[in-house]
Structure 1
């Protein structure tokens, strides 16, 4: 009995969906198992701001986690890294302002406003760590992002990588976890082929939307 092309395509799509789902689950499970211990520096990854320049809930949750890490003595220095999100919207300096308002001293905060993506942040933080001769780094981000961040830091030569995350869940996390699968695959391939690969700002979903919408 011959299978029809539509039947074959459907089976392939179902198989792809199952593999994709399992990969997303594996990434999330691995993120939750990253060790937590005292670090020389904690890297807080940026996220979007409100129109008034204050952190949106996802970024606020990361910063609250960083404040708690600092207060408990597990993170002595907080390295906030992000980029310019629009006119007057500097994510890194907004992160710094939030930490200052929550009692973190200015001399315990390092600001990197050129962290255009995860790899760029890893490169910049690695240079800071080498310059200050420290080796233990704590990564602070959402659970679905930590494994890719850990990979980027490992490829930049970080000796000891820990991680911590906001203990919260949002419906949008389902999409973010799904999106993380191709992002992790691309990072793994690029950094395996070239450990010195340069950071590239590419947003695959926006690219696909632009193709379908015909926008340029």
Structure 2
């Protein structure tokens, strides 16, 4: 009986702590991003748009959610709100190459290839934001993702020293079940981001690159 009570108490305690962590992390993201999220047509000018990866189809093309993010980035570029697109995604294997697929999509939709810079080690939101600052030297940007992901993306970039605002895609809402599932997962994902920021986890790094600055100089 005592063992059962202790087990129940432990589980209840863990549940309370877990709930507090989720709540606290999401309050932080909301506060840190407050006033920095915009509709595409109202976004302030920034030199760079950071487009976060969102998966590929079995054929190696952007998933609908990733395509929607790329459409937002194109809208920002066409309006002159940004001058360079930094496409950041996963490329851990030769068979899975998000940045190249993102580039191919943008070029096919009229974006000059010389205005696109690829980050092949953006394995998650934290890595993409950290590498934008530490590898590519970006100090100001618009981060582009789905609307429910925007607060975490903005908060992460700003915590890493980037003057970031965000624009969120809303087209993904047409897939109601996927959108709802993503929104729920996002509440948990913020906890990992807070941990990464607290521990200052190093993403995959390398030598600093000038490709963003070179692309900006050519505009």
In the superposition, the TM-score normalised over structure 2's length comes to 0.71
> How do 1:31-180 residues align onto structure 2 when only pairs under 5 Å count?
34-35=37-38, 36-84=43-91, 87-127=94-134, 129-130=136-137, 135-158=139-162, 160-168=163-171, 169=173, 170=175, 171-180=177-186
SS of residue matched to 1:139: strand
Deviation at 1:84, TM superposition (A): 2.4
Q: What CA RMSD, in Å, does the superposition of the two structures yield over aligned residues?
A: 3.4
SS of residue matched to 1:52: coil
* Runs of 4+ that moved beyond 4 A: 23-33
CA–CA distance in structure 1, aligned partners of residues 132 and 99 of structure 2: 13
Deviation at 1:184, TM superposition (A): 0.6
Judging changes above 3 Å, is the alpha-carbon distance between structure 1 residues 146 and 76 closer, same or farther for their aligned structure 2 residues? same
Deviation at 1:129, TM superposition (A): 5.0
CA contact (8 A) 2:29 2:155 kept: no
Deviation at 1:111, TM superposition (A): 0.5
CA contact (8 A) 2:48 2:141 kept: yes
CA–CA distance in structure 2, aligned partners of residues 85 and 92 of structure 1: 11
In the superposition, the TM-score normalised over structure 1's length comes to 0.72
Which residue, out of 177, 180, 186, partners 2:192?
A: 186
CA contact (8 A) 1:39 1:74 kept: yes
